[in-house]
Amino acid sequence: MIVRKLLDQLKSKEFRDYLMSTHFWGPVANWGIPLAALADTQKHPSFISGKMTLALCGYSLMFMRFAWRVQPRNLLLFACHFTNECAQLTQGARFINYHYIQGGDKQDHKK
């Protein structure tokens, strides 16, 4: 019963229209940003740009608000920017820890 309803919904004209809209493809294309940020969490923190991380935090916050306020709500876009916000906050914490708590710049210059 539930599977049948799901299949019927996937075959509907509304769903096909959604798949052909910018409401779907915009967020799909945007997923490259958080995926790159998540991959960057495995790199050495000396490569993190504090200014870019801060800019991307602001960018994702603004687009999370936009995705929530636009009608109909774009939850796929919201999820994309929520993921990016979390990844950027992680990178920001790594940046602060490396440069200001551990004194990473001083360690690098001694080598």
Statement: residue 109 has pLDDT above 60: no
Q: Are 21 and 56 in contact (CB under 8 A)?
A: no
- Altogether, the residues listed in the chain come to a count of 111
Q: What is the mean pLDDT of residues 4-15?
A: 83
In a domain, 22, yes or no: no
What's residue 111's pLDDT?
47
Domain count along the chain: 1
In a domain, 44, yes or no: yes
Domain that holds residue 55: 31-101
- pLDDT of 43 strictly over 70: yes
pTM of the shown model? 0.80
Q: What is the pLDDT of residue 106?
A: 63
Tokens found for residue 94: 């790594």
Give me the percent of the chain exceeding a pLDDT of 70: 94
